[in-house]
Amino acid sequence: MMSAVSALRLESICRSYRSGDERLDVLTDLDLEVRSGELVALIAPSGAGKSTLLHVAGLLERPDSGDVYVDGIATRDLADKARTGIRRTGIGFIYQFHHLLPEFSALENVAIPQMANGLSYKNAAERARELLGYLKLSERLDHRPAELSGGEQQRVAIARSIANAPHIILADEPTGNLDPSTSDLVFSMLTRLAREAGIAALIATHNLDLARRADRTVTLKDGKTIAHHFQD
Ligand code: ADP
Ligand code: MG
């Protein structure tokens, strides 16, 4: 039997931080695989290393040892330029706070990353309009981030994260800043998009109700990922 395609694979990852004489081992020989089309929720307490894991997985940080495979390609020995290329075209990021450009409209915020990737404004804006429409934001295209609600800002951030059609989405507490019903809506839109596009999604969240809707849930224990099982 053919195994499903591994979009993201973390193999024996170690990552420590140093401050003075102290060494903090955050990730210790961590393994994790996310297949194409799979939605994995990462649930762990604050300080457990979720953001560190996502930064390493997204090639924003290099591990001290171990390797990250993106679509089967080992990234450890790649130069920064190649890693940036993979990140820009293959990986979409969503953060707890939207990180949208304040001076630009919703449409422009989704168009700009595509233009950085070589698309004309016309084509980028067309795709931005389509994505924002899908996220039910057709009435908000010209609004700047400050003129949007928290849930709307996160939906723009979702549209931006998938603008360049990545294979992988890494989301760091994407609904952490939203009220429960808005969280639910934003999470539903994110998961629906990821599933329909066959994207591998790794979503750090504190929200157990949302995590239940993932295909699989993992947690971090002593710097390693282990399967998470709900108590009830
Ligand atoms: P989480 O996202 O699960 O809350 P983080 O990955 O942000 O956890 O942090 C894991 C641990 O590593 C925390 O104890 C944090 O204080 C520490 N840490 C994170 N980033 C740094 C850094 N740049 N320098 C030193 N320590 C850090
Ligand atoms: Mg964090």
pLDDT at position 174:
93
Does ligand 1 lie within 6 Å of residue 50's CB atom? yes
Asked if 54 and 94 count as a contact pair (C-beta separation under 8 A), the reply is no
pLDDT at position 4:
62
Asked if 174 and 148 count as a contact pair (C-beta separation under 8 A), the reply is no
Amino acid at 152: E
Does ligand 1 lie within 6 Å of residue 56's CB atom? no
Pairing state between β 200-204 and 65-70: unpaired
| Closest alpha carbon to 165 in 214, 113, 98 | 113
- Helix (H/G/I), strand (E/B), else coil: 126: helix
Does ligand 1 lie within 6 Å of residue 51's CB atom? yes
**Residues 15-57: pLDDT tens digits?**
999 988 999 999 999 999 999 999 999 999 999 999 999 999 9
- How far CA 158 is from CA of 58, 127, 230, in Å, comes to 16, 13, 27
3-state helix, strand, coil split of the chain in percent (to 5) is 35, 30, 35
Of all ligands present, the nearest one to the C-alpha of 95 is: 2
- Domains of the chain in sequence order: 6-227 (3.40.50.300)
Residue holding tokens 């809506």? Answer: 185
Q: In this structure, which long-range contacts are made by residues 177-181, counting pairs with CB atoms below 8 Å and at least 24 apart in sequence? A: 177/96, 177/97, 177/150, 178/150, 178/151, 178/154, 179/150
Q: Report, as ranges of residue numbers, the positions in the chain whose pLDDT lies below 70.
A: 1-4, 232
Of all ligands present, the nearest one to the C-alpha of 47 is: 1
pTM here is 0.94
| Closest alpha carbon to 174 in 207, 197, 131 | 207
Q: What is the rounded distance in angstroms from the CA atom of residue 72 to the CA atom of residue 50?
A: 22
Does ligand 1 lie within 6 Å of residue 199's CB atom? no
Atom of ligand 1 nearest to the CA of 220: 3
Asked if 54 and 204 count as a contact pair (C-beta separation under 8 A), the reply is yes
pLDDT at position 1:
42
Amino acid at 16: S
pLDDT at position 2:
45
Q: Whose CA is nearest to atom 22 of ligand 1?
A: 17
Non-local CB neighbours of 214 within 8 Å, separated by 6+ positions: 39, 40, 41, 191, 203
Query: Rounded to a whole number, what is the largest CA-CA distance in the chain?
Result: 54
Q: What is the rounded distance in angstroms from the CA atom of residue 126 to the CA atom of residue 227?
A: 41
